[in-house]
Amino acid sequence: MERMRGPDGFTESMFTVLKLDDFVPKDHPLRPIRSWLNDALKRMDDVFARMYEADAKGGRPSIAPEKLVRSFAAGAVLSS
């Protein structure tokens, strides 16, 4: 099944030879949060697919909701 929403890919290799993981300390709260969030987003994949399936009319792909949720979570953790 092809996703109708934007891709959830990473382009970190385009900018640096290091991965984003290399910049986050091993004991940082983002590490377990990222794992929990990724598990939850996997379980929601069918829901996202149904939501975006109805809106796909050949236009520009949207930003993947998984990417948006991850960025909001990271911002909340980093700003606290």
The reply to whether 58 falls in a domain is: yes
Higher model confidence: residue 73 or residue 44? Answer: 44
Nearest to 74 by CA among 29, 44, 39: 29
Structurally, the chain folds into a number of domains equal to 1
Compute the mean pLDDT over every residue in the chain, rounded to the nearest whole number.
75
Residue 7 lies in a domain: no
Distances in Å between the alpha carbon of 27 and those of 12, 14, 36, 41? 22, 27, 15, 23
CB 47 within 8 A of CB 3: no
- Ranked by mean pLDDT, which of 4-13, 18-27, 50-59 comes out on top? 18-27
Give a yes or no: residue 17 inside a domain. yes
In a domain, 33, yes or no: yes
pTM score: 0.57
Note down the domain range covering 59.
12-79
